[in-house]
């Protein structure tokens, strides 16, 4: 192998190395973005589970109430309270 071939091969390897570093940097940015999004989704999931538990408990209580109007009133009050506290909004 001649010196010129070695120099050319070295230049090619440097270019490939630079491209690899750029790819790694881009992937690191994507990973950071996905980790942030995942954290946000975990928090949202936690909040939705809490709301689900509240609503399920409200339904359980409503089922123990014999009067249909009182059931409706109970569930409406639960929903109003959730809306007032900012813990529940429609889709």
Burial 13-32 (b: 16+ CB within 10 A, else e): eeeeeeeeeeeeeeeeeeee
Q: Which domain holds residue 27?
A: 3-84
Does residue 89 belong to any structural domain of this protein?
Answer: no
The tally of domains found in the chain comes to 1
Does residue 32 belong to any structural domain of this protein?
Answer: yes
Does residue 24 belong to any structural domain of this protein?
Answer: yes
Over residues 66-78, mean pLDDT: 91
pLDDT at residue 89 in the model? 55
pLDDT, tens only, 5-28: 999 999 999 999 999 999 999 999
Does residue 44 belong to any structural domain of this protein?
Answer: yes
pTM of this prediction exceeds 0.85: no
Cα gap 86→11, rounded to integer Å? 60
Does residue 91 belong to any structural domain of this protein?
Answer: no
Does residue 48 belong to any structural domain of this protein?
Answer: yes
């Amino acid at each position: 192998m001649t010196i010129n071939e070695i120099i050319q091969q070295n230049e090619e390897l440097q270019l490939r190395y630079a491209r690899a570093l750029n790819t790694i940097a881009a992937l690191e940015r994507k990973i950071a973005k996905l980790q942030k999004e995942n954290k946000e989704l975990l928090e949202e999931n936690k909040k939705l589970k809490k709301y689900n538990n509240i609503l399920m408990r409200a339904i359980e209580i409503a089922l123990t109430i014999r009067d249909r109007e009182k059931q409706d009133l109970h569930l409406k009050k639960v929903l109003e309270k959730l809306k007032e506290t900012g813990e529940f909004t429609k889709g």
